[in-house]
Amino acid sequence: MAGGERIFVQAIRRYCAEHDIAVDVRASGWLIAMRKGARCRFAFGYDIGLNSAIAHRLANDKSATAEALEMAGVPCVPHHLFLNPSMGVHVTGADWRQGMLALLAQNPQGVVVKPNEGTSGRAVFKATNSDDLDRAVTEIFSSGLGLVIAPYVEIEDEVRVIVLDGKPMIVYRKERPSVVGDGMQTLRELASAAGQDRRLRELAARELNAIVPKGERRLLTWRHNLDAGAKPILLDEGEVRADCAKLAIDAANFIGITFASIDVVRVDGIWRVLEINSGVMMEGLGRLHPGLVQATYDAALDRIFETAH
């Protein structure tokens, strides 16, 4: 097995080895062919091919996901779509920037600007004024055709649910990096001692240089992404796990998706769907719970090859 392979690729290799399935890994693991007899199945990116084309496209389009869930009455965070003006005024309209500024004005706490497609929290920006907004828009439109703007909300908790065939396979919360004050050190000093210096870029200088009172916890980022330093914490059976799983399953059932990772967030005490991802990435979780991640990919691959029989 090649060193440095993604956990996703390793899981497929293990499954295929145990089930006498020929596997051919190409493009540094982003394209995988799995052959059993005359049948061939593909995995691309983090997608193993269980979902229909329309469910896949809906899930990978944040704006379409929000619109569809709103139709179903499933609580969700709204995402407003804006297309790149390079596509022409007949596509984007002449007042696209005015529309963005209107959303900013409606949300004095700020907005979140991110690509309409994509995962892992890359190129995601918080904007509280027009200069922030313009920088975010310029950055995203430099490499993409669409972006979405969502209201910035104070997320009390974020949970990811991995759903397969209407069942919650894995449910975990994302615990953001934080430090606890000792009454003597500044936030910057506490974060540095904890090896979290790179999490401080989005905090104001007055926050960083203030002494944190003893026993008080301070979050180091507003982002819940594992790539931003959050840790996956498996949820035990209970009300929170049940509520999150039900909401995720309702969302998955409505758009007709079979295998997906669904992020739900608690805002003002109410759970809402944030995003649905058709490609199920479990790299961070797999480093902590490899057996659970392998079992989940195994169950999904079983569905693929049951269909192929």
The pLDDT, as a whole number, for residue 227 is 61
pLDDT tens sequence across 80-121? 999 998 888 787 778 899 999 999 999 999 999 999 987 656
Give the closest residue to 263 by CA, choosing from 145, 105, 124. 124
Average pLDDT over every residue of 206-222: 78
Mean pLDDT lowest among 69-73, 76-80, 144-148, 195-199:
195-199
Average pLDDT over every residue of 255-259: 97
Strands 178-180 and 146-151 turn out to be unpaired
C-alpha 118/C-alpha 202 separation (Å) is: 21
Res 222 pLDDT > 70: no
The pair of structure tokens assigned to 31 is: 């394209």
For the packed helices 7-18 and 290-308, what is the interaxial angle rounded to 10 degrees?
50
The pLDDT, as a whole number, for residue 309 is 42
The pLDDT, as a whole number, for residue 194 is 75
C-alpha 251/C-alpha 271 separation (Å) is: 12
> Rg of the chain over CA atoms, in angstroms?
21
C-alpha 115/C-alpha 187 separation (Å) is: 31
| Enclosing H/E stretch for 267 | strand 259-267
Which residue type, as a one-letter code, is found at position 251?
A: A
What order do you get walking across the sheet with 39-44 strand by strand?
22-26, 31-36, 39-44
Average pLDDT over every residue of 273-279: 95
* Pair 291, 297: CB distance under 8 Å: no
C-alpha 72/C-alpha 295 separation (Å) is: 32
What's the pLDDT band for 123 if we cut at 50, 70, 90? confident
Angle among Cα 132, 272, 255 to the nearest 5 degrees reads 105
Place of tokens 């200069």: 131
Give the closest residue to 193 by CA, choosing from 210, 175, 176, 180. 180
Sort 137 into a burial class: Cβ within 10 Å, 0-12 / 13-18 / 19+.
buried
Average pLDDT, the chain: 89
The pLDDT, as a whole number, for residue 186 is 83
The pLDDT, as a whole number, for residue 270 is 96
Domains located in the chain, CATH noted: 7-48+284-308 (no CATH), 50-76+154-176+222-279 (3.30.470.20), 78-152 (3.30.1490.20), 180-218 (no CATH)
Total count of residues recorded for the chain: 309
Res 231 pLDDT > 70: yes
Which residue type, as a one-letter code, is found at position 176?
A: R
Q: What is the pTM of this model?
A: 0.86
pLDDT tens sequence across 27-79? 989 999 999 988 899 999 999 999 999 999 999 999 999 999 999 999 999 99
Res 308 pLDDT > 50: no
Average pLDDT over every residue of 230-257: 95
* Pair 162, 168: CB distance under 8 Å: yes
Question: Residue 217 phi/psi, 5° resolution?
Answer: -95, 135
